[in-house]
Amino acid sequence: MSQEKCVRRLLLLSSSCLHGCAPFEYAKEDITRFFGSGVKEILFIPYALKDHNDYLEKTRKRFADIGLPYNVFGIHEAASPVEAVKKASAIFIGGGNTFRLLKSLYDLNLIQPIRKRILEEGIPYMGSSAGTNVATVSINTTNDMPIVHPPSLEALTLVPFNINPHYIEPDPNTTHMGETRDERIFEYVDLDTSHPVLGLKEGSWLLVEGSKALVQGPNGGRLFIGKDQVKDIPTGSDVSYLMEGKTCS
């Protein structure tokens, strides 16, 4: 499939929570608008955490508490995870440990079925934190520790670049002597110059429709392009130029 025919619809949240708000509350209107009136049930993939049932129930409660009107079905409740993906009208992958999440997607042979549903059939995909990480080219820019080892760090490649969720700017007044988030991301782009990294601050998200991409939410982000090349991305910025890579073939 050519880039021009790509029908992907993505809502990639930096985080589920924003200080002072209930989970997902800060993005409630945009989540509702994104899924639209046609989506009644969302397939939830809880593999980023160990206890899938607990994570599912918490997500159902969080949605209900703020009035998100969706039936949330856990993929682990299905007899066949692959068939659940094939039948889903929408997919949501939540946060947790990105390495655990990606390993499960590989172990259960879900990478290609999810890509097909999103890139070819156009069902909406929402990710949060780790779920946003796996929507990108790789999980090389996750903040998590490698508590398990997936067969590859290559992810779903629903977008042709990487994202760093929970991005936080360096504090010029800190006495902490460890590396800043900027320094760690620069270490990556210094080696991989073909994949820029979009740092999304908490409370911000990337909305993708086909080849169009907008950074939304209250806090914006920062784009890392190469060694010491950085660009602040205010909320409302059109970053469709990042979508020029071929992700729909």
Do the bridges between strand 212-216 and strand 205-209 make them parallel or antiparallel, or are there none, so unpaired?
Answer: antiparallel
Please give the Cα distance from 86 to 243 (Å, whole number): 25
Residue 192 known to be catalytic: no
Q: Are 118 and 158 in contact (CB under 8 A)?
A: yes
Identity of the amino acid at 128:
S
Residue from 13, 58, 137 nearest 74 by CA: 58
Among candidate residues 30, 89, 166, 211, the one labeled active-site is 166
Output phi, psi for 230, to 5 deg: -140, 145
Please give the Cα distance from 52 to 186 (Å, whole number): 34
Among candidate residues 104, 129, 138, 204, the one labeled active-site is 129
Among candidate residues 16, 138, 144, 204, the one labeled active-site is 144
Identity of the amino acid at 153:
L
Residue 144 known to be catalytic: yes
Please give the Cα distance from 218 to 197 (Å, whole number): 19
**What positions carry a catalytic annotation?**
129, 144, 166
